[in-house]
Structure 1
């Protein structure tokens, strides 16, 4: 079983599995690039003597801080009052 088999499938906000080949290709490429950058940063930190649990906690905190610029715009426009 590969690591991909353990990962959830790519789905939209309604839980529908994505089937568009181009979208899936882009998502897989982005994930692969991100994995490589994170692996490099992880190895650097290990070489500098950082505790592996601290590294992973900091990476996790970065993920938790991510916000959707699209959701914010939708929420802002929904709360904007009609000037008339």
Structure 2
């Protein structure tokens, strides 16, 4: 699991609360992805195709910064 979280400028996030939230989110996402992946494969979906579907799903996520006013 990731233990360092780089910011856009390359510096690392150091705030303990942010690091805790990021670690919690990552653990939750891992569990959810594991469940989704396992269910699909057990129902007969090809493992490689399921990995591709999950990657494409992540790549299609819009940026939360889109439309954000500069400032």
Task: Give the deviation of 1:11 after TM superposition.
Answer: 1.1
| 1:17 paired residue among 7, 12, 31 | 12
Answer with 1 or 2: which has the greater Rg. Answer: 1
Provide TM-score, normalisation by structure 2: 0.87
Structure with the largest fraction of helix: 1
Unaligned residue ranges in structure 2 (runs of 5+): none
Higher relative contact order (CA 8 A, sep 6+): 2
Unaligned residue ranges in structure 1 (runs of 5+): 79-84
- Alignment RMSD, CA only? 1.6
Deviant stretches of 4+, over 2 Å: none
Provide TM-score, normalisation by structure 1: 0.75
How many residue pairs are counted as aligned between the two chains?
70
